[in-house]
Amino acid sequence: MATTATPEIQPGIHRDEEPDSRTDLEPGYRVICWNDPVNLMDYVTHVFQVVFGWQRQKAEVHMLQLHNQGKSVLTRESMEKAEFYVHQLQKYSLHATMERD
Amino acid sequence: MKLIRTRREKLVFEISLPERRLLFEVLKLHPLISATHYRLSKTARSAKHDENQRLLEESLAAQRQENRKNVRAMLNEAGRFQAAASGFQLTLSGPEIEWLLQVLNDVRVGSWIALGAPDPEQGKKTTFDEKTVPHFRAMELAGAFETVFLDALSGHAPG
C-alpha cells in the first residue's frame, strides 16, 4: 500500500527557528528557605501564607520540611521574581536565598 | 495581653501596664539585624550578583527604617493605647500587625544572633551570664508577643 509522505512542517504550525536559550525570564531560580531554629513554627507558616498567598496546609508542609530537613525549596521563578520573593522573606527575617537550577 | 474583639477589620487587644512596658522595651530594640547580614545567594558569584546584593541591602535598610518610623509613631501616638479597667486597649489593623511581626522577629532573630546562634538540637548551646541574659530576655519577649499576634490573626484568642 502506498503511503503519503508527512510534510515536515504541518500547515498552520510555526516552527521557531531560534534555539532555546536560558534567560533571566525563565523559571531557572530556586527560592530556598533555610532553617533558623529561633523562628517560631507558626510564624514561618504565617509568613509563607502572606508572601506566597498559600493556604495554611501548603504553608505548613513547607514549614515542616524546613524544620525537619533544614531547608525547603519554596518555588522556582525567573531571576526577577526570585529576587522579589527572597526580599519579601528577608523582610520578615527569614533566612532565604535564590539559587540557580 | 490578649485579643478581646475584632471591630471593622481591626483587632482590639487588652494589655496590662507591665505588658505595655515590656512591649515598648522590645520594640525600642529594633533594628537589631544588620542589612548586610542576609545574602541573596549562597553560591552566585558575579558582578551582576554583587550589584543585586547591594540593591537588596539598600532595600532592607530602607524597609527597616520605615518600620522604625512606624514604631516611633506608635510609641508616641496619643490615644493608641486607650485606658481601660485592666490596663489598656490597643487597636491594630492587619497591616499594622504585619509590620509589628517583622519588627518583633528582627528583635528575636537579632538577639539569637547576638547569642551566637545557639541550636541545642545540634549541641550548640550558650551560657547564661550577665552579658547573655538581656539577649535571652529580648528573644523570649519578642517570641511571646509574636505568639499573641499570630494567634489573633488565626482567629484563636489566647486565654
CB atoms within 10 A of CB B148: 20
- What are the structural domain ranges in chain B? 2-34+79-153
Query: What confidence tier does B45 reach under pLDDT thresholds 50, 70, 90?
Result: confident
CB proximity A41 to B under 8 Å: no
On the CB side of B51, CA atoms within 13 Å amount to 3
Confidence (pLDDT) at B61: 93
> Is B52 close to A90, i.e. CB distance below 8 A?
no
Confidence (pLDDT) at A51: 98
> Is A83 close to B52, i.e. CB distance below 8 A?
yes
CB atoms within 10 A of CB B26: 24
Q: Which amino acid belongs to residue B105? A: N
Q: Which of B26, B32, B33, B39 to mutate to test the interface with A (most CBs of A within 10 A)?
A: B39
Lowest mean pLDDT among A2-6, A56-60, A80-84, B71-75: A2-6
Q: How far is A42 from chain B (nearest CA, A)?
A: 7
Q: Which residues contact A41 (CB under 8 A, 6 or more apart)?
A: A63, A67
Confidence (pLDDT) at B156: 55
Query: What confidence tier does A3 reach under pLDDT thresholds 50, 70, 90?
Result: very low
User: Which of A38, A42, A86 shows the shortest C-beta gap to B139?
Assistant: A38
Q: How far is A92 from chain B (nearest CA, A)?
A: 5
> Is B139 close to A50, i.e. CB distance below 8 A?
no
Give, to the nearest 10 degrees, the angle between helix B94-114 and helix B47-76.
110
pLDDT one-digit tens code per residue, B11-26:
999 999 999 999 999 9
CB-CB contact of A63 with A9 (8 Å) = no
CB-CB contact of A45 with B101 (8 Å) = no
Q: According to the CATH classification, is domain A29-100 in 3.30.1390.10?
A: yes
> Is B39 close to A97, i.e. CB distance below 8 A?
yes
Percent of chain B with pLDDT over 90: 74
Kind of pairing between the strands at B81-84 and B87-93: antiparallel
DSSP string, A8-51: SS-TT-PPP-SPP---TTSS-EEEEEE--TTS-HHHHHHHHHHH
- List CB contacts (< 8 A) between B101 and chain A: 43, 46, 92
| pLDDT at residue A97 greater than cutoff 70 | yes
* Average pLDDT over every residue of A70-85: 96
> Is A46 close to B101, i.e. CB distance below 8 A?
yes
> Grid coordinates in use for A6?
508527512
> Is B109 close to A87, i.e. CB distance below 8 A?
no
pLDDT one-digit tens code per residue, A10-68:
445 444 444 444 566 677 999 999 999 999 999 999 999 999 999 999 999 999 999 99
- What are the structural domain ranges in chain A? 29-100
